[in-house]
Each structure stands twice: as structure tokens, then as C-alpha cells.
């Protein structure tokens, strides 16, 4: 049995749990977006709107997301541009076929990782994550293959809560195997020290009638912009007001072909950024926080969520400029007042 702090120690090991070691009020609410499949030019327009560079987390740095890229229909120049923006690029197989063996995982992961490296500006040390097509996995053989290839996490294993009031599990390492119910067998039963899994925590549909394994897969589909917005925000609040486990949105970009869908998501992201304790980050950034949990009052010092040097320089310049303008304004005010009242 995994016991945090006894036989499992951060940053290399974290036990499966529904309750983090920190008090929920000390935990930044992590929100991550994980988009699957090929990356095309029309999707880039949606990403540019939803994740525009002027949308910032409370620490002043741009929000981010993760793309799980498959080999079919990916336009690599577009992928390069998205990578330049700081979005995380991960692997979703080369063929987008059902994967049943560790050997198939190995071939698909190597092939698509090589495609991403060879045809875009992404380097091998930037690629950390894997997700299986259709969330069908090879269980222990899959994890072993990914570890051998130096992947550090997998986002393929599903957890389904029964109601909106139930808690979702936190990401954890497989030092003691997959300890949650196995919704889509096989799940890893063996020990895989130091390898992280981010459970695909199924959302509840907008009526809280049933589960949706991806954001865009509900049987009871929201039909209007308001229903879609409420579906998103109700699930968010269940995390924010619950155990503060990361809130993941797993989906496909073609869902944005309907105007009411992208309008609802745009409004939801806008409203999330009104919170001073909500951070929209990539999955790899979320796991960096898991490895070194940092309380909200110290989160500005947390390096993995800091901006790039250029962005930090721009922010610093703006702060200095505002300070200078204030000093100048005060000086002018004092001079005018001394002239008037000598």
C-alpha cells in the first residue's frame, strides 16, 4: 500500500488520492486543455481566439494548453507556430489506430515523436506525454514501452465519478500500479516507479445525468451556448469548490465548428481568468506543480509557471515604466502645487 511520506516521496512518487496534502484553500486551481488528433490550419484560428496572447494567468504569464498530435492530417508548419507560442506538444500515435500491444505502442510513439521533431521546431526534450487513440491501452506493456522511450506521463486511463458532487482523483505515479477502478481494461497492475498518470476524469453532462469521457462526447449534448457554458462551469465549480484536483478538458478541435460551442468556451475561459487562484496551464506544467506543490501565496516564485525570459522582460519593463510614470506624475504635481501655493 502506498503511504505518502513513508514509502513514497515527492518529487519522484505520489500516491493515488482524492485529497491532496495541502489544504484546498492553499492550492491553485489548475485547469488544463488537452486537444487530440491532427493539427490543421482551421484549428489554429480557434486556438488563437481562445488562447490569445493577451489572456494571462494571475502571475501575468500567458495561459497554455496541450496538443496530443497524431500523424494523420497534421500540418507541421501550423504545429511549429503553436509550439512557438509555448503550447505543449505531446504524442497521440502515428496511425490513430487502436493499440493493443506494447510493441505497437513503441512503434507508434517513436514514429510520431520523430515526425514532430523532424517536421516542426519541437525538440525531443520538449515531448513528455502520450495519449492512446480512443483511450484504448496496452496496460502494463504500454507503460513499460513509454518509460523505455523516456516519456514521463500518460493521459489514457479513465476515471468516472457517479455524480457532480463526487470527487475526482489527483494525478499520481505508478509506483504501486493503477489503484483506481479500471473503466477500460487493461489497466497497469505492476509497479512502474516514477511514471505519472493523469486520470482522464470524465465530466458530468450539463444535467448531471451521465458521464462524458471527453468534453465533446456527451450523449446528452448541450444544444445552446448557455447550456454549453453551464456544462463547462458546473464541472469547473465542482473541482474548485471540492478537492481542487486539476480540471481537465479533453476534446477535439472540430467541436468548434458550431459557433455556439466556441462562443461558450470563449466566455468560460474569460470568466476563469477573473479568479485570482485559477491557472490555465499545460499538463506538463500541472505535473511540475504536482512534483513540487507550492502554496498560492508563493506561486509567483514557482519557476515552471514563470514566463519565458522575453515575456518576463516585457512584464518587468511595463512595471518599471508604470513606476517611472507615477514618479514623473507625482513630481509634476508637486511642482505645480509649489508654484501655485509657493
* Residue 341 scores a pLDDT above 70: no
Do residue 205 and residue 336 come from a single domain?
Answer: no
The pLDDT of residue 244 is: 98
Do residue 193 and residue 252 come from a single domain?
Answer: yes
Q: What string of DSSP letters covers 69-112? A: E-STT--HHHHHHHHHTT-EEEE--SS-----SHHHHHHHHHHH
Do residue 39 and residue 114 come from a single domain?
Answer: yes
Do residue 316 and residue 230 come from a single domain?
Answer: no
In angstroms, the CA 11 to CA 22 distance is: 15
Tell me the mean pLDDT in the region 235-262: 96
Tell me the mean pLDDT in the region 2-12: 97
**Percentage, residues of the chain above pLDDT 70:** 90
Q: Which structural domain, as residue segments, surrounds residue 318?
A: 308-342
Do residue 283 and residue 168 come from a single domain?
Answer: yes
Do residue 100 and residue 208 come from a single domain?
Answer: yes
Q: What is the pLDDT of residues 319-331, one digit of tens each?
A: 445 555 666 666 6
Do residue 258 and residue 315 come from a single domain?
Answer: no
The pLDDT of residue 321 is: 55
Average pLDDT of every residue of the chain:
92
Looking at 261-265, 269-273, 329-333, which range is the least confident one?
329-333
All three cell numbers of 187: 489497466
All three cell numbers of 253: 478541435
- The total domain count for the chain is 2
Residue 140 placed within a domain: yes
The pLDDT of residue 317 is: 43
Residue 210 placed within a domain: yes
Do residue 190 and residue 206 come from a single domain?
Answer: yes
Do residue 338 and residue 281 come from a single domain?
Answer: no
The CATH number assigned to the domain holding 140 equals: 3.20.20.370
Instruction: For residue 316, give Cα distances in angstroms to 23, 58, 63, 312, 330.
Output: 32, 15, 18, 6, 21
The pLDDT of residue 328 is: 64
* Residue 271 scores a pLDDT above 90: yes
Do residue 96 and residue 58 come from a single domain?
Answer: yes
Q: What is the pLDDT of residues 103-156, one digit of tens each?
A: 999 999 999 999 999 999 999 999 999 999 999 999 999 999 999 999 999 999
Do residue 240 and residue 331 come from a single domain?
Answer: no
Residue 121 placed within a domain: yes
The pLDDT of residue 337 is: 62
Q: What is the pLDDT of residues 47-90, one digit of tens each?
A: 999 999 999 999 999 999 999 999 988 999 999 999 999 999 99
Do residue 35 and residue 59 come from a single domain?
Answer: yes
The pLDDT of residue 333 is: 63
Enclosing H/E stretch for 159: strand 158-159
Amino acid at each position: 500500500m502506498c503511504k505518502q511520506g513513508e514509502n513514497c516521496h515527492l518529487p519522484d512518487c505520489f500516491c493515488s488520492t482524492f485529497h491532496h496534502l495541502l489544504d484546498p484553500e492553499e492550492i491553485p486551481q489548475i485547469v488544463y486543455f488537452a486537444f487530440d488528433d491532427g493539427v490543421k490550419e482551421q484549428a489554429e484560428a480557434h486556438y488563437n481566439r481562445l488562447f490569445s496572447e493577451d489572456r494571462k494567468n494571475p502571475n501575468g504569464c500567458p495561459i497554455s494548453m496541450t496538443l496530443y498530435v497524431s500523424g494523420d492530417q497534421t500540418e507541421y508548419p501550423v504545429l511549429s507556430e503553436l509550439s512557438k507560442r509555448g503550447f505543449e506538444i505531446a504524442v497521440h500515435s502515428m496511425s490513430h489506430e487502436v493499440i493493443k500491444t506494447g510493441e505497437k505502442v513503441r512503434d507508434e510513439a517513436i514514429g510520431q515523436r520523430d515526425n514532430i521533431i523532424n517536421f516542426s521546431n519541437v525538440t525531443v526534450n520538449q515531448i513528455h506525454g502520450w495519449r492512446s487513440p480512443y483511450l484504448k491501452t496496452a496496460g502494463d506493456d504500454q507503460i513499460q514501452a513509454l518509460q523505455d522511450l523516456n516519456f514521463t506521463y500518460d493521459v489514457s486511463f479513465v476515471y468516472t465519478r457517479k455524480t457532480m458532487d463526487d470527487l475526482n482523483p489527483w494525478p499520481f505515479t505508478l509506483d504501486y500500479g493503477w489503484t483506481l477502478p479500471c473503466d477500460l481494461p487493461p489497466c497497469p497492475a505492476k509497479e512502474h516507479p516514477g511514471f505519472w498518470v493523469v486520470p482522464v476524469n470524465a465530466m458530468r453532462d450539463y444535467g448531471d445525468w451521465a458521464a462524458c469521457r471527453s468534453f465533446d462526447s456527451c450523449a446528452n449534448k448541450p444544444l445552446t451556448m448557455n447550456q454549453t457554458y453551464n456544462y463547462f462551469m458546473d464541472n469547473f465549480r465542482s473541482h474548485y469548490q471540492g478537492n481542487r484536483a486539476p480540471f481537465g478538458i479533453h476534446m477535439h478541435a472540430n467541436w468548434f465548428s458550431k459557433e455556439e460551442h466556441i462562443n461558450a468556451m470563449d466566455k468560460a475561459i474569460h470568466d476563469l481568468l477573473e479568479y485570482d487562484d485559477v491557472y490555465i496551464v499545460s499538463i506538463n506544467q500541472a505535473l511540475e506543480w504536482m512534483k513540487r506543490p507550492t502554496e498560492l501565496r508563493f506561486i509567483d516564485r514557482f519557476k515552471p509557471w514563470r514566463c519565458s525570459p522575453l515575456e518576463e522582460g516585457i512584464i518587468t519593463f511595463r512595471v518599471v515604466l508604470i513606476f517611472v510614470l507615477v514618479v514623473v506624475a507625482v513630481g509634476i504635481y508637486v511642482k505645480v502645487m509649489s508654484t501655485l501655493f509657493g
